Amino acid sequence: MSEQAEASNPDLVTIEVDGVEMQAPKGSMIIEATDKADVAVPRFCYHRKLSIAANCRMCLVDVEKAPKPLPACATPVAEGMKIRTRSERALKAQKGVMEFLLINHPLDCPICDQGGECELQDLALGYGRGVSRFSERKRVVKDENLGPLIATEMTRCIHCTRCVRFLDEVAGTSELGGMFRGEHTEISTFVGRGVHSEMSGNIIDLCPVGALTSKPYRFTARAWEMLSHASVSPHDSVGTNLQIHHVQGAIKRVVPRDNDAINECWIADRDRFAYQGLASDERLTEPMARIDGRWRAVSWDTALELTVDSLRATAAEQIGVLAGPQATLEEQYLLGRLLRGLGGKNIDSRLRQSDFSDQFERPAFPWLGLPLEALDTRDVTLVVGGLLRSEQPILNHRLRKAARAGGRVAYLNPMVQELTYEADQFAVAPEQLVPALAALVLAGAEAAGKSAPDGVVELADGQAIGETEKNLAAALVQAERGLVLLGSVAETHPQAATLRTLAAHLAELGNNPHGVVAEDAAAVGAWIAGALPHRQAGGRACDQAGLDATGMLREHLDTYVLFGTEPELDCHDSALALKALAQANSVIAVTPFVTDAMRDYASILLPASSFGETAGTLVNTEGRWQRFPGVAAPPGEARPGWKILRVLGNLLELDGFGYNAADEITDELEALSGGLSAAAMSAGSLASSMPAPVSEGLQRIGLVPLYSGDGLVRRAMALQQTDAARDVRARMHPDEAAAQGLADEHWVLLRQDGGDVRMPLVLDDAVPRGAVVVPAGVRETAGLGAQFGRIAVRKA
Amino acid sequence: MSAVSDANQVLSEDVRREIDHWLAKFPPEGKRSAVIPALHVLQDSNGGYLTNALMDALAEYLDLPPVQIYEVATFYTMFDTKPVGRHKVNICTNISCMLMGSDEIVGHCEKKLGIRLGETTPDNRITLKVEEECLAACTGGPMMVVDGHYHTHLTPEKVDKILDELE
């Protein structure tokens, strides 16, 4: 492109920075232009993702014809503007600001956790004086307890307000504010409520000084002694980009890696703090086997020999493989090959799902329907069966951006979520989800002037819908950029297939995209790698499909192989899983963690790697492959999952298990998957949906809490101390409770499929009548039945 | 829903009517502008100071995050977030008044009332407030504001008379 053409672009202006001519978009700020050109301008309060505050004054620059230095972050560029960032006037202004900032900042860098990676420390080196001219007393600010994740040392605060703006503008919780004034200004909640946002940890990164630091990490390492490696979060299907900081293979902390297409520069708290689970007391560090009814630590050789014997002694069709929510693509691929090499067919990764009736019609893999980035600019988005704020916080953040930009966001869910943006929320009991969605399709068809697809009228079952719903359906079919998304609740719902087809029809009425938010980090990979009963590696259909996850547990197989899962917590039906495992002849668990429950049902325990300890690949909900290296050494005798499977393949004398590195497996699978492309579910015919057999009791809404999705998060100490994790209670609408003769704070007895659980009840009008929220994925409710089934509730 | 009903319990009907009066003066997107007058309404209805419960109720009533109310209430010295005496005495100590001898006035008041700036007399009669800013009556310094009324050209004798007349 010629310079001439650029110059005549009416949206650009030409400016001169330190004698170098450059172009910048009209209306942009000087600091954006200097950042783009790699001209260093010091700053504390400016952050490209936050609003402009211009309150630290550190970025003062010298602008020709301006009577005094101007803040680069808040001065728009203008045609012909001449800016000098290093002139005497600019430097004098910057040094002056630094002197003021240091007046009240303590000189405690040696004992400050931020030391060595502190923006103030760095800039003070360049702009500060050698000796302070200030001889009066420095102020002291009392610390506040913000919760188990963020440590405070508020005397160090320089009031840049990045944390305040982040919580207000990005997290949407507005939990911190600038209290008092002048020299007495304090960043605080004022009332001591703490900070509870699911993305709160980002304020640690944003804080330019050591006022806000990580509680779990602090004082465990210094910035300069750590190495940093890229990784990917295994806690949801977003594929959040991370940077792991470690000292000689011991993971010290996890921070975001910028990727504007996925997580921007933010990560959710569980991406940041879950690594703590690696050091859990329940970590399995040596192979173990049950010999003569007693658990013994054995050598790898013995353990593998026992495993091989056990697998060889079982008829292949009697082997069931359950792969967990954090399995890497490579592990899934080897698991599938191992089982199929033995002649087996029963393998599944969809542990939380319960409706597999449309599995043959489903596309190559569950797909979001559009790139993550495109979520920001949707006009109308309907999320069916998805509590995104706890399921995929980053995705929720993107929808929040869409809502803030004037887009309309709506949820059809089994309960109303607490959101930080305007959204239409329709809540119906789980069994009403299909009729309610069908009614929306009818309303959409009416608005589009089309006839409703066959079968929708029957599914709607006369479900009345309100004006808001009708209005939403009309807005959706008329939207230029509409979207229908199915969340984890929909994916795990007993009528998931019908929900998927209805969603496809609703989207098609307005020619909108639709998609599925995969329910965990391994969910998409399983389809590509062939860790499913009906698809082989590369997405090829199996000649004959094996049993799905529910089928395997119902059939009471002889041998189960558990890969990175605690089925009583990870499966849709905990009671069913425990029963199946208890009667099995042999249960081989390849697992990073061991629990008492596992010691009860397992026969061989093989210690495996967890987050950061293995090289691998995760495929996110957009279908994006992301490889990452193994960074840390697994503890004790534990080994990377793919290596364990490779050795097993060799010992079982299967062909093609001679891999030397995880990359070889990935490359092989990549070649196999060449023809796979992302596609949305087609709007097929509506199978006559089987209404769930109605039994006694209330409908259970078995939601997985924010910090209970996988074994690592469940063992992350600090996360488990948050209010969100500690609140393990049943929830019920006040009217429903009154009808059942129950009151707030009552202990209730929950009975489902032979499982009994006692827990406190809390009244909550976010829950629809006829249903009760009983969390799944937590130890308190292990042994109960299906996540979405009937449950008996009475006073304990 | 439940939030609004909580606000309605804490805020009396009269208070809500007065807040509505102020709200009506601003466009809906500018409702934060009503925070200052609304806090005055609440403070006056509550014996001269604000409680957390009142501020939370206001946040709910205006549908604003509570911290945005706390920020305003703590920023301005005209709002108190701790219990105060029946009368508030603000002595200006800014530059003009200081040059005219406000230190002497402050010292006199402290001695007479037996309390320091920022404290309240044990009989709950008078609170000597810490005044941060110029009270905009420099021509009459030293000066003070008692319960919103300006008193200029102060002398210890004049101060005695004013304070003695307070109930």
Among the partner residues A168, A179, A182, nearest to B70 by beta-carbon distance? A179
Whether the per-residue pLDDT at A689 is higher than 60: the answer is no
Which token pair is A314?
């079982």
Whether the per-residue pLDDT at A688 is higher than 80: the answer is no
What is the average pLDDT across A665-693?
82
Whether the per-residue pLDDT at A462 is higher than 90: the answer is no
Across the interface, whether the CB atoms of A174 and B70 are under 8 A apart is answered no
Contact A213, A113 (CB under 8 A): yes
What is the average pLDDT across A118-134?
94
Whether the per-residue pLDDT at A691 is higher than 90: the answer is no
Pairing of strands A755-763, B87-91: unpaired
Q: Using an 8 Å CB-CB cutoff, list chain B residues near A175.
A: 65, 67
Across the interface, whether the CB atoms of B52 and A174 are under 8 A apart is answered no
Q: Which residue of B has its CA nearest to A181?
A: B75
Q: Residue A74 and residue A31: Cα distance in Å, rounded?
A: 8
Chain A and chain B share a number of CB contacts under 8 A equal to 34
Number of residues written out for chain A: 796
Interface with chain B: mutation pick from A165, A169, A181, highest number of B CBs within 10 Å = A181
Query: Percentage of chain A surpassing pLDDT 90?
Result: 93
Q: Using an 8 Å CB-CB cutoff, list chain A residues near B52.
A: 191
A131 touches chain B (CB under 8 A): no
A177 vs chain B: nearest CA distance in angstroms?
Answer: 6
What is the average pLDDT across A604-614?
97
Q: Which residue of B has its CA nearest to A182?
A: B75
Across the interface, whether the CB atoms of A182 and B2 are under 8 A apart is answered no
pLDDT in the model for residue B2: 41
What is the average pLDDT across A620-634?
96
Q: Using an 8 Å CB-CB cutoff, list chain B residues near A178.
A: 71
- Helix, strand, coil abundance in chain A, percent, nearest 5: 35, 20, 45
CA dihedral A489, A495, A496, A500 (to 10 degrees): -120
Among the partner residues B66, B68, B132, nearest to A182 by beta-carbon distance? B132
Q: Using an 8 Å CB-CB cutoff, list chain B residues near A179.
A: 70-71, 74-75
Whether the per-residue pLDDT at A4 is higher than 60: the answer is no
Across the interface, whether the CB atoms of B70 and A182 are under 8 A apart is answered no
pLDDT tens for A390-412 read 999 999 999 999 999 999 999 99
Among the partner residues A176, A182, A765, nearest to B67 by beta-carbon distance? A176
Amino acid residing at A131: V
Mean of pLDDT over chain B: 92
pLDDT tens for A319-346 read 999 999 999 999 999 999 999 999 999 9
Q: Which residue of A has its CA nearest to B79?
A: A180
A177 touches chain B (CB under 8 A): yes
- Nearest residue to A80 (alpha-carbon basis) of A131, A26, A126, A147: A26
A68 touches chain B (CB under 8 A): no
pLDDT tens for A276-314 read 999 999 999 999 999 999 999 999 999 999 999 999 999
Query: Percentage of chain B surpassing pLDDT 70?
Result: 97
pLDDT in the model for residue A204: 98
Contact A352, A488 (CB under 8 A): yes
pLDDT tens for A108-119 read 999 999 999 999
Which token pair is A369?
């329907």
Q: Residue A648 and residue A664: Cα distance in Å, rounded?
A: 17
B164 vs chain A: nearest CA distance in angstroms?
Answer: 32
pLDDT in the model for residue B3: 44
Q: Residue A323 and residue A590: Cα distance in Å, rounded?
A: 10
Enumerate residues 6+ apart whose C-beta is below 8 A from A299. A287
Contacts with B, A 715-774, CB within 8 Å: 765
Whether the per-residue pLDDT at A459 is higher than 70: the answer is yes
Among the partner residues B65, B74, B132, nearest to A179 by beta-carbon distance? B74
B82 vs chain A: nearest CA distance in angstroms?
Answer: 13
pLDDT in the model for residue A695: 67
Interface with chain B: mutation pick from A191, A197, A203, highest number of B CBs within 10 Å = A191
Q: Which run of H or of E encompasses A82?
A: strand A82-84
pLDDT in the model for residue A745: 85
Among the partner residues B2, B68, B75, nearest to A180 by beta-carbon distance? B75
Q: Residue A242 and residue A254: Cα distance in Å, rounded?
A: 7
What's the pLDDT band for B1 if we cut at 50, 70, 90? very low
Contact A708, A722 (CB under 8 A): no
Q: Which residues of B touch A (CB under 8 A)?
A: 1-2, 52, 65-68, 70-71, 74-76, 132
Among the partner residues A173, A175, A190, nearest to B74 by beta-carbon distance? A190
Task: Write phi, then psi, for A33 (nearest 5 degrees).
Answer: -70, -40
A182 touches chain B (CB under 8 A): yes
A44 vs chain B: nearest CA distance in angstroms?
Answer: 22
Q: Using an 8 Å CB-CB cutoff, list chain B residues near A173.
A: 65
What's the pLDDT band for B5 if we cut at 50, 70, 90? low
pLDDT in the model for residue B9: 83
pLDDT in the model for residue B8: 78
Q: Using an 8 Å CB-CB cutoff, list chain B residues near A174.
A: 65-68
pLDDT in the model for residue A683: 83
What is the average pLDDT across A91-105?
96
Q: Using an 8 Å CB-CB cutoff, list chain B residues near A191.
A: 52, 66, 70
A456 vs chain B: nearest CA distance in angstroms?
Answer: 34
Among the partner residues A175, A180, A765, nearest to B67 by beta-carbon distance? A175
Whether the per-residue pLDDT at A52 is higher than 80: the answer is yes
Q: Which residue of B has its CA nearest to A168?
A: B65
pLDDT in the model for residue A694: 64
Among the partner residues B52, B67, B76, nearest to A174 by beta-carbon distance? B67
Q: Residue B155 and residue A241: Cα distance in Å, rounded?
A: 69
Mean of pLDDT over chain A: 95
- Tell me the ipTM for this assembly: 0.90
Enumerate residues 6+ apart whose C-beta is below 8 A from A272. A201, A214, A253, A254, A255, A256
Cα dihedral A293, A295, A298, A304 sign = positive
What is the average pLDDT across A645-671?
96
Whether the per-residue pLDDT at B119 is higher than 50: the answer is yes
What's the pLDDT band for B128 if we cut at 50, 70, 90? very high
What is the average pLDDT across A246-253?
95
Across the interface, whether the CB atoms of A189 and B67 are under 8 A apart is answered yes
Instruction: Quickly list DSSP for A169-230.
Output: III-----EEES-GGG-EEE-SS------TTTTHHHHH-SSSSEEETTTTTS--GGG-EEEE
Among the partner residues A175, A177, A182, nearest to B71 by beta-carbon distance? A177
Which range, of A137-141, A254-258, A675-679, B44-48, averages the lowest pLDDT? A675-679
Q: Which residue of A has its CA nearest to B56?
A: A191
What pTM did the predictor assign?
0.95
pLDDT in the model for residue A690: 58
Task: Please name the residue that has the structure tokens 């203008």.
Answer: A78
Task: Write phi, then psi, for B52 (nearest 5 degrees).
Answer: -60, -40
Q: Using an 8 Å CB-CB cutoff, list chain A residues near B75.
A: 179-181
Q: Using an 8 Å CB-CB cutoff, list chain B residues near A404.
A: none
What's the pLDDT band for A8 if we cut at 50, 70, 90? low
- Nearest residue to A492 (alpha-carbon basis) of A231, A776, A684: A776
Q: Using an 8 Å CB-CB cutoff, list chain A residues near B70.
A: 177, 179, 190-191
pLDDT in the model for residue B4: 47
pLDDT in the model for residue A1: 43
Q: Using an 8 Å CB-CB cutoff, list chain B residues near A181.
A: 74-76, 132
A144 touches chain B (CB under 8 A): no
Instruction: Quickly list DSSP for A740-757.
Output: TT--TT-EEEEEETTEEE
Whether the per-residue pLDDT at A7 is higher than 60: the answer is no
Across the interface, whether the CB atoms of B65 and A181 are under 8 A apart is answered no
